[in-house]
Amino acid sequence: MLSPDEFRRIALRLQDASEGAHMAHPDFRAHGRIFATLHPSGETGMVKLTPEQQKDFLREHPAAFVPSSGAWGRQGCTTVCLDAVDEETLGAAMTLAWQNIVRQSSVRPSSVRPSSARQPASRRPKAKTSAKPARRTRKR
């Protein structure tokens, strides 16, 4: 049985982890991406696993882990029941969720570049400007 403070401590001990807020509840991020959240009730949290990892935790710890509802759950988001999980098990799930995010952050397709990197500034078309500001007309 874990408290919300213990959930928070486990999340924040991971490298580059930080706490923020998302939709009125705490979230835990690495490289700007959420890997875990703590629900406002303090009774549950969420870890962002892969669907395969989720299946393993559901099979091995059915009282502690439940798929999150809807598409999020099908994608691997997993609700953690704090009164049914021990520190070691939550630590393992949290570490996997953190690793998934760090791995995603370090793999960036070469075809995706910031817009400023696509074309040198000297070759970008200049914005057209007119001497007079556009006037708005009202429909009557």
Q: Give the pLDDT confidence score for residue 11 in this predicted structure.
A: 97
Domain that holds residue 24: 1-83
Q: Give the pLDDT confidence score for residue 24 in this predicted structure.
A: 82
C-alpha torsion angle, residues 23, 25, 29, 34 (rounded to 10) = -50
pLDDT(52) > 50: yes
Give residue 18's pLDDT band: very low, low, confident or very high (50, 70, 90).
very high
Q: Tell me which amino acid residue 18 is.
A: S
Q: Give the pLDDT confidence score for residue 118 in this predicted structure.
A: 42
Question: What contacts 12, CB < 8 A, 6 or more positions away?
Answer: 18, 19, 28
Output 116 or 43, whichever has higher pLDDT: 43
Structural domain contains residue 121: no
Task: Please state the rounded mean pLDDT for residues 73-86.
Answer: 97
The pTM for the full model equals 0.74
Give the chain's end-to-end CA distance (angstroms, integer).
Answer: 68
Task: Please state the rounded mean pLDDT for residues 71-86.
Answer: 97
The sign of the CA dihedral 68, 72, 77, 82 is negative
Distances (CA, A) of 89 to 67, 77, 82: 16, 16, 11
Structural domain contains residue 14: yes
Structural domain contains residue 77: yes
Question: What total number of domains does the chain contain?
Answer: 1
